[in-house]
């Protein structure tokens, strides 16, 4: 089974029109399932933010063991990425961007606070989660060759998850400098941490809907970001057998 994860129904409307989804009883009102291209698909709306994402995915993985997780939606681009609305970003890692402490000398990530931990103790936190795996490499190749995505620039790089979207230039540039991120979102690091805990591969992709650092809606195109992300997910589903083969090579 392939499990698709999105925060809101708005981010899945195109897929729900094109695939024969029916409500799934495992999560009434929150999950939908279907068979497509010889694959069993489960779509889960997790809700917005880190807590909702972690709770929803933990509940799911406590009951199901999918072969793959695909998280998607729209996201904001950091300036150095040169990504624009309608482009596509894939996550090579996920970083908790505002997990730490504010200080007179700037933000201090949790990883730099010097929290002591016993050698054999369970990890207290994971600020940066690596998502590079053969499935990501194979999926990137599939998307880069997709004709329906030829108008989109496709970039793989670090993602940053925040509780507070960077709506000012100073916050945006600070996050970009500290993380080298290309794309900002509000759920991905939680998905990545839970997927790592349950040892399920995760691919995360975001359609760029806006530049980070501004709340000027004239520069935003949420429908376009949502659309390109869903087109990419549909391409992955249609080619999942080849992704499975490529990732085993």
pLDDT in tens, 177-211: 999 999 999 999 999 999 999 999 999 999 999 99
How many Å is the Cα radius of gyration of the chain? 18
176 has pLDDT over 80: yes
Dihedral sign, Cα of residue 26, residue 29, residue 34, residue 40: negative
Burial of 187-209, coded b for 16+ CB within 10 Å and e otherwise, reads bbbbbbbbbbebebbbbbbbbbb
Residues in the chain: 249
Nearest one of 130, 174, 187 to 156, comparing CA atoms: 130
Q: What's the pLDDT band for 249 if we cut at 50, 70, 90?
A: low
Residue 153 covered by a domain: yes
5 contacts 71 by C-beta, under 8 angstroms: yes
**CATH at residue 205:** 3.40.50.1580
Q: Is the Cβ–Cβ distance between 179 and 196 less than 8 Å?
A: no
* Inside any domain, residue 94: yes
Average pLDDT on 8-22 reads: 97
> Does residue 63 fall inside a structural domain?
no
Domain residues for the domain of 170 are: 72-112+125-248
- Percentage of the chain surpassing pLDDT 70? 99
| Structural domain includes residue 2 | no
Q: Please answer whether residues 237 and 2 qualify as being in contact, where contact means their C-beta atoms are separated by less than 8 angstroms.
A: yes
| Two structure tokens written together for 140 | 């990137």
Q: Is 246 exposed, middle or buried (0-12, 13-18, 19+ CB in 10 A)?
A: middle
Give mean pLDDT, residues 118-145.
90
- Helical residues (DSSP H) of the chain, grouped into ranges: 13-18, 50-63, 134-144, 169-179, 188-198, 222-238, 240-248
In a domain? residue 19:
no
**Residue 18 domain-assigned?**
no
11 near 229, Cβ under 8 Å? yes
Determine how β-strand 68-77 pairs with β-strand 183-185: antiparallel
What average pLDDT is seen over the chain?
Answer: 94
Structure tokens at 107: 């933000």
Query: 3-class secondary structure for 58-124?
Result: HHHHHHCCCCEEEEEEEEEECHHHCCCCCCEEEEEEEEECCCEEEECCEEEEHHHCCCCCCCCCCCC
In a domain, 40, yes or no: no
Q: 162 in helix, strand or coil?
A: coil
Domain total of the chain: 1
Whether 130 maps to a domain, the answer reads yes
Tell me: the pLDDT tens digits for 54-72? 999 999 999 999 999 999 9
What is the predicted pLDDT for the residue at 185?
A: 98
């Amino acid at each position: 089974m392939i499990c698709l994860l999105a925060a809101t129904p708005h981010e899945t409307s195109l897929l729900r029109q094109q695939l024969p989804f029916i409500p799934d009883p495992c999560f009434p009102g929150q999950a939908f399932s279907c068979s497509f291209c010889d694959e069993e698909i489960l779509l889960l709306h997790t809700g917005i933010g880190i807590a909702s994402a972690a709770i929803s995915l933990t509940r799911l993985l406590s009951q199901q063991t999918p072969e793959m997780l695909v998280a998607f939606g729209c996201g904001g681009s950091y300036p150095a990425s040169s990504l624009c609305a309608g482009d596509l970003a894939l996550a090579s890692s996920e970083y908790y961007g505002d997990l730490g402490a504010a200080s007179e000398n700037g933000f201090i990530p949790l990883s730099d606070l010097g929290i002591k931990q016993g050698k054999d103790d369970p990890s207290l936190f994971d600020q940066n989660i690596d998502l590079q795996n053969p499935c990501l490499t194979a999926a990137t190749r599939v998307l880069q060759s997709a004709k329906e995505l030829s108008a989109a620039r496709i970039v793989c790089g670090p993602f940053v998850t925040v509780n507070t979207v960077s709506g000012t230039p100073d916050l945006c540039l600070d996050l970009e400098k500290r993380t080298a991120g290309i794309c900002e979102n509000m759920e991905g690091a939680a998905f990545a941490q839970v997927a790592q805990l349950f040892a399920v591969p995760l691919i995360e992709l975001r359609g760029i809907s806006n530049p980070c650092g501004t709340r000027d809606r004239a520069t935003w195109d949420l429908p376009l970001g949502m659309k390109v992300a869903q087109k990419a997910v549909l391409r992955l589903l249609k080619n999942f057998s080849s992704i499975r083969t490529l990732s085993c090579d």
